[in-house]
Amino acid sequence: MFHAPQALLVCYDENICWKNHKHEEDGHSAGEMDATIVLTHMMLQAWELGIGSCWVCSFDFKATRQLFNLLPNIKPVALMPIGYAAPDGVASDRHPKRKPLAETVHYL
């Protein structure tokens, strides 16, 4: 959790999120997409307030569901550790590394 003092758990409710019934998969849920949009806005607002954050989408979903006693219809999407950045903090050396565009973009 990057030594953050707190983290927010972002979830959506599968029972009330919008579903695209015209999609080839009947009832394709927009819940995860909507939750990620909200999370992005939360991160931008935190930054504006001088609070650092990080999007974490690789965690033990089963353990998180149990820890927070989530109902089956509540789907965790991401954790967002938040806190004030350490004055001597530096980005990971992997931060500026990028794959070549040809490996990530395909033109049809």
- Express each pLDDT in 52-71 by its tens digit: 998 998 999 999 999 999 99
Q: pLDDT by residue (tens digit) across 14-25?
A: 999 888 777 666
Domain 6-104 has CATH 3.30.465.10: no
The b-or-e profile of 15-34 (16+ CB within 10 A means b, else e) is: eebeeeeeeeeeeebebbee
Percentage of residues in the chain with pLDDT exceeding 70?
93
Tell whether the model's pLDDT for residue 29 goes beyond 90. Answer: no
Cβ–Cβ under 8 Å, residues 17 and 29:
yes
Tell whether the model's pLDDT for residue 26 goes beyond 70. Answer: no
Strand partners, 11: 76
Q: Where are the domains of the chain?
A: 6-104
